[in-house]
Structure 1
Amino acid sequence: MRPIIITAFVSLDGVMDSPGGGDHPRAGWTFKEVPFVAEAYEMKGTEQLEASAMLLGRQSYDEFAPIWPTMAEFAEYNAMPKYVVSSTLEDPEWTNTHVLRSLDEVAALREGEGGPIIVHGSAKLGQGLAAAGLVDRYHLLVFPLTLGSGKRLFDGNATGTMKLVVQAAYDNGIIKAVYDVEY
């Protein structure tokens, strides 16, 4: 089985909307409102090296596909297989991208051979995966601010417990928390 790992930047109130830019009124809150500390982001480089595939929702795909292929720091992600859960996407242009039409297809991918599948920035997909019992781990960078509104990591439809397996706190107030999901 290939573990599915959701990785996210989240505010203290659970909002993961527009951390680097986007439509949220405070878009870019990760770098505009919290001082940069390199150590807090080391987990992101490790994720890229350890993942064997990336799983995205349609909106995240539409936001990432025009930008990430041009960025050298995402070379491993650009080379690996990418899967987009969408009922409408046809002929994705991002190299090595495949379309999945349902969570059943995600479950089949998870049951296959290979390493971890990383989920970036996809709130709606993450919520659906959690409700379906398909999330194995969360990699969270929790930022010391509240946003009040926006897309949330957890929508209240998934239940369960998690075991904290890695934690760290940084000088800028960011907390790294890695949780294994216990079903």
Structure 2
Amino acid sequence: MKISLTTFLTLDGVYQAPGGPDEDSSGGFERGGWSVPYGDEDFGRFMVEVFDRADAFLLGRKTYEIFAGYWPKVTDADDPIASRLNTLPKYVATDTLTSLDWQGSRPIGGNLVEELTALKRQSGRELQIHGSGALAGSLLGHGLIDTIHLLTFPVAVGTGKKLFRPDAEPSAYTLSASRTTGTGVVISSYEFQGSPTYGTYGLPEDA
């Protein structure tokens, strides 16, 4: 089973609080909800395609709390996103939450790299991360995420939490798919390839 990440980013690389001002105001962030004006049918169609491939979910603590407060209330069995989130296994990366009320949820902590390496050996399609920027940033640094779906929204907020950490290991990716929604959200899918290679545009020394 491979690990995939689907995440929303601003043009200046911020992932914090895309869905509303109350999602994450830490650090004094007051610009939450920046993704909302760009939701349309193209956006929704892509998200349904992603959830159709899920066999399990991996969530950070904060994203788990946001999702657990919302999705169990969506009880329509035909809802393509709620039906999967409410029924498929959910692994929550936390050392503080020990009791998880959302059906099918269980905490994983300790050595997360070892836990996830073991999960990746299991059969299945995708263990999906949605949001969970702090968790995703850590896993990107360890090369554990196989596929990244970056949804880049045509807005810059100037401040906020960034997905890619400056101390992460350098990584190379191959662009596997790209599309643009009617509202201008660029959806790019990347496959992890390992360490990058380097070159130069400079003239040869003996030229």
The alignment's TM-score, normalised by the length of structure 2, stands at 0.82
Are 2:90 and 1:82 equivalent residues in the alignment? yes
Determine whether 1:50 maps to 2:61: no
Counterpart secondary structure, 1:39: helix
> What letter is aligned with 1:89?
L
Name 2:69's counterpart in structure 1. Answer: 66
Could you list the per-position Cα deviations for residues 24-72 of structure 1 after superposition, in whole angstroms to 9, with x for gaps in the alignment? 412111114x3x4311331211111111000001111111111111124
Q: What are the ranges of 5 or more consecutive residues in structure 1 without an aligned counterpart? A: none
Where do 1:80-159 residues align within 5 Å? Answer: 80-101=88-109, 102-156=112-166, 157-159=168-170
Q: How many residue pairs align between the two structures?
A: 180
Superposition deviation, residue 130 in structure 1: 0.9
Partners of 1:125 and 1:44 in 2: CA distance: 20
- Structure (1 or 2) with the larger CA radius of gyration: 2
Classify 1:169/1:147 alpha carbon distance in 2 versus 1 (closer, same or farther; 3 Å): same
Are positions 1:25 and 2:30 aligned together?
A: yes
User: Is the Cα–Cα contact under 8 Å of residues 56 and 82 in structure 1 kept in the other structure?
Assistant: yes
Distance of 1:179 and 1:41 partners within structure 2: 20
Q: CA deviation at 1:9?
A: 1.1
Secondary structure at the residue paired with 2:117?
Answer: helix
**Structure 1 stretch 96-105 or stretch 81-90: which is displaced more?**
96-105
TM-score of the pair, normalised by structure 1: 0.93
**Alpha-carbon offset, residue 128 of structure 1:** 1.1
Q: 1:172 is matched by which residue type in structure 2?
A: T
Tell me, in whole angstroms, the C-alpha distance in 1 between the residues paired with 2:127 and 2:9.
Answer: 20
* 1:52 match: secondary structure: strand
User: Counterpart of 2:50 in 1: which secondary structure?
Assistant: helix
In 2, the alpha carbon distance for the partners of 1:158 and 1:148 equals: 25
Report runs of 4+ in structure 1 exceeding 3 Å deviation: none
Give, in angstroms, the shift of residue 7 of structure 1.
Answer: 0.3
Q: Over the residues paired in the alignment, what is the CA RMSD in angstroms?
A: 1.3
